[in-house]
Amino acid sequence: MAIINQATKELQVKIVYYGPAMGGKTTNLVQVHDHVQTAAGNKGKLVSLATSSDRTLFFDFLPIEAMTIKGFKTKFQLYTVPGQVIYNTTRQLVLRGVDGIVFVADSQYEKMPENVESFQNLVDNLNSLKLNLAEIPYVLQYNKRDLPNAAPMEYMEYLLNNREVQVPSFGATAHKCEGVFESLNMITRLLLHKFINQSVPQYA
């Protein structure tokens, strides 16, 4: 869980982008890396452990510092997981210590079974780490809204956001940087609310 270092007044938070293969998780990180406005030195390098065909092999990693949080140096570590089904062990590794999740779903009609399967896989992997999705802040991002075969948002909400407690969701066209910052800011806000509302901070 998040590291809160009293000595340096530093808060470190891990956000994982999860979702089916080719859904746009890495694109989200690339867009954040390319477009985020930061003070000098507050944005780290985007590290991608990818195959020669640019498919994520292990994870992508982007360390970044938020612009202003009163009195605290707040460092965010953004990770993606490999979406391909065979890399499930890797996904479990990346989820270790997760604080918040952005689930990136693919809006194309034919990808719906993969979206649902990936979401269930997320729940299962969290359970294997003794974590419960209901206790972890997450947001849903319906990516590829610009494609002609994109399913209506209402349909995606019915499929993926149909639980007792509904979470914030965003339509996105990640390659145009639409919906990317909205999703990131919302998960960040949810995380900070969680930290503040907890009478006992997660750990630090």
Rounded to the nearest 5°, which phi and psi values hold at 177?
65, 25
| Shortest reach from residue 151's CB to other proteins, in Å | 27
**Do 34 and 24 form a contact (C-beta atoms < 8 A)?**
no
Interface with other proteins by CB under 8 A: which residues?
1, 3-8, 12, 14, 32, 35-37, 44-45, 47, 49, 58-59, 61, 63-64, 66-72, 74-75, 77, 79, 89-90, 93-94, 96-98, 129-131, 177, 181, 184-185, 188-189, 192-193, 195-196, 198-204
**C-beta closer to other proteins: residue 70 or 163:** 70
Beta carbons within 8 Å of 195's beta carbon, 6+ residues apart: 2, 11, 201, 202
**Phi-psi category of residue 8: left, alpha or beta, with phi > 0 → left and psi -120 to 50 → alpha:** alpha
CB neighbourhood size of 1 (10 A): 16
Find, among 14, 19, 17, the residue nearest to 30 by Cα: 17
| Shortest reach from residue 77's CB to other proteins, in Å | 6
**C-beta closer to other proteins: residue 146 or 178:** 178
**C-beta closer to other proteins: residue 109 or 134:** 134
**C-beta closer to other proteins: residue 81 or 112:** 81
